[in-house]
Amino acid sequence: MKIVKIVSLIVAFALSVIVPAAVLALDGTPAADPSVDNIHGFKDLVLTGDVAIFGEYNIPYTTLPSTPASSTYTIKLMDAGGNQVGAVVPYATFDLGYNLGAFGLYFSPGAVTFGGTYTIRISQNPVYFASPESFDYEIPALAWTTATTQADNRVKLALAVLATAERLHTQYPTYTLLESGLSGTVLYSPTGENYFRGAFYGIQAMAPSLFLYEVAPYETTSHVYTENMSANYTSRYGGTWVGPEVTATANQFGLTATAVMAMIFALPVCLGFIIVSAKKFHKTEPGFLVSALVVLTVYMMGWMPAAIFATIYQICGIYLGYVWFYARG
């Protein structure tokens, strides 16, 4: 009986491993051998001595499998000794990652020798292929850039990406990948930006000119503030019938025109809004909000002294600070 149980356990374990592998078989085969093209090698893009490899792949399928290429294929960088030094998977956006696509590999300083002998290998995942194959393509010597400065390397990478984006748009015309920006042609947001960020992780740091940004001048000139506008407000009704009437009323009380109008016009109106707010809404905040607009309007009409206006708004600021930072506990 013990032997039967042991055998049963072995069979159950074997089935648990074998059956899923059979279920994961890919529903389709490539129409031709996968390949790479337009390979470029760059250096010093972010750090001195770093290396980046950018290019295009083609994993041709007439009928697309239901499983994305990010699960079924891997794009590797192999050195001259056949050792893997880096790998990415196809970014599954267009045709689930099959057919034409872009890829990029970034290496920190010292990880890869710039201009060395390397091979791009497209490998099939053995989980999905009964007899997985690999397809090797040596990086040609002309693929390595001759640019020496970081700025020139970034420009060349940006140009390579833009050219690839144009070819991808030709292949997938329903997707908009490029647009015009202030500094020239850039990746379209969100489609173009999202795709190349996924296909080449960190590309924004390596080629920032590919991404739309706007430069706004920062104002550093100091401003000299005067009371000219306040004087304009005060004399707003000069030469009209309103001006002499306000002045005559002020003379009756021995006050300035702005002070008397603030007392007989602005103050009663503000108190009225606060009282109505307290009775109707059982709180005074709505009345204070309307009163703030009334005070601002009266000041711009020239009917309130600038000092009183500034004092009122300073008190409002202190009150808001109290509500935000203290009253809420």
pLDDT digits over 54-77, tens only? 999 999 999 999 999 999 999 999
Q: Is residue 98 part of a domain?
A: yes
Question: In the listed set 184, 210, 236, which residue is the last one of a domain according to the structure?
Answer: 210
pLDDT at 17 over 70: no
Question: In the listed set 210, 237, 252, which residue is the last one of a domain according to the structure?
Answer: 210
pLDDT tens figures, 228-275: 777 777 777 777 877 788 788 878 878 787 777 878 878 888 888 889
Domain identity same for 196 and 243: no
Domain identity same for 161 and 284: no
pLDDT score, position 212 = 85
- pTM of the predicted model as reported, rounded to 2 decimal places: 0.61
Percentage of the chain exceeding pLDDT 90:
54
Q: Is residue 16 part of a domain?
A: no
Question: In the listed set 210, 245, 262, which residue is the last one of a domain according to the structure?
Answer: 210
pLDDT at 24 over 80: no
User: Which pLDDT band holds residue 15 (cuts at 50, 70, 90)?
Assistant: very low
Whole-number average pLDDT of the chain: 87
Q: State the residue range of the domain holding 50.
A: 35-210
Give the phi and the psi of residue 162 in degrees, each rounded to 5: -65, -40
Domain identity same for 174 and 232: no
Mean pLDDT of 40-45: 98
Whole-number Å distance between alpha carbons of 41 and 86: 14
Is pLDDT larger for residue 198 or for residue 294? 198
Q: Is residue 310 part of a domain?
A: yes
CATH number at residue 72: 2.60.40.150
pLDDT tens figures, 74-96: 999 999 999 999 999 999 999 99
pLDDT tens figures, 103-142: 999 999 999 999 999 999 999 999 999 999 999 999 999 9
Q: Is residue 264 part of a domain?
A: yes
Domain identity same for 112 and 155: yes
Q: What is the tally of structural domains in the chain?
A: 2
Domain identity same for 245 and 288: yes
User: Which pLDDT band holds residue 7 (cuts at 50, 70, 90)?
Assistant: very low
Q: Is residue 180 part of a domain?
A: yes
